[in-house]
Amino acid sequence: MNRRRSPTLTSHLAWIVVLVAVGLVAGVAPTGLYVLKPGPARDLSQAITVPGGDPSSGGRYLMVTVRADRATVLAAVAATFNPSWEIVPRAALIPGGESIDDYLSRAARQMTESQQVAIRVASEYLGHDVGAVRFDVDGISGPSAGGMFALEIIRQVRGGPPGAGLIVAGTGILSPDGRLNKVGGVRQKVAAAEMAGATYFIVPREEAAAAEAAAREIKIIPVDSVAEAVQALTGIGPRASGESPGPR
């Protein structure tokens, strides 16, 4: 004998299915916002080739990045529990009515310009033209690695700093006069540096507070210029395992 399902039970099951479906759609549907996350870190000894330079000398510099994804409802909720994630409106990344394609083209030009400025600044610091430096950054774009590019060129020519055993990450838009300027995304970049094993982080002085707030173990080194960064790192040795990073 077949039993008929009661109308009330059927109605309840229907609502459950609808609610689950709505929940899934809300989870994957874009919100018009973006979520910023720590991106990959790149060892610059493998990304920059300096004529006559030695990429194996001294320690290592890392270029750190920020990943920007369209935010779903679930991602927006998850960001409230992850201190290295940040929800921002589209206008914070892509100003005005600029299209995605135009934004990507502009970011690619900024990367090329940052490389050219890094060669110029490093050459002036070293007192001679370093020649045709080759960059291989795997499609990473934007202007914020210029300071680290210049430091890596100087390291390969001079043999340091940083000293052997040190891993130093950092960020900063580089001016032709050698100054490091504000970049944004510092919270995500500090997290990316720590995940990559860096023990020191170079940051423009005006963003030192944001870097300090994001740091857990990494030591923050605020500077105003590439020359100041070289001076700050000169003579610093690797910390022993478990040693406190000291005052930041």
Checking if the pLDDT of 139 tops 90, the result is no
- Ranges of each domain in the chain: 39-66+106-233
Q: Which residues contact 176 (CB under 8 A, 6 or more apart)?
A: 117, 120, 121
List pLDDT tens digits, range 176-193: 999 999 999 999 999 999
pLDDT top residue among 63 and 235: 63
List pLDDT tens digits, range 15-30: 445 444 444 444 454 5
For range 46-75, the mean pLDDT: 93
Mean residue pLDDT of the chain comes to: 86
Checking if the pLDDT of 241 tops 50, the result is no
CA-CA-CA-CA torsion sign (218, 219, 222, 223): negative
Q: Which residues contact 103 (CB under 8 A, 6 or more apart)?
A: 93, 94
Cis peptide before 89 (omega within 30 of 0): no
pLDDT at residue 66 in the model: 96
Element (DSSP H or E) covering residue 31: strand 30-43
Axis-axis angle for helices 226-233, 146-158 (nearest 10): 50
The domain defined by 39-66+106-233 folds into: Ribosomal Protein S5; domain 2 (3.30.230)
Name the least confident of 3-7, 156-160, 225-229: 3-7
Q: How many CB atoms lie under 10 A from the CB of residue 87?
A: 17
pLDDT at residue 243 in the model: 45
| Pairwise CA distance, residues 139 & 152, whole Å | 19
List pLDDT tens digits, range 75-105: 888 888 999 999 898 888 888 778 889 999 9
CA-CA-CA-CA torsion sign (92, 96, 98, 104): negative
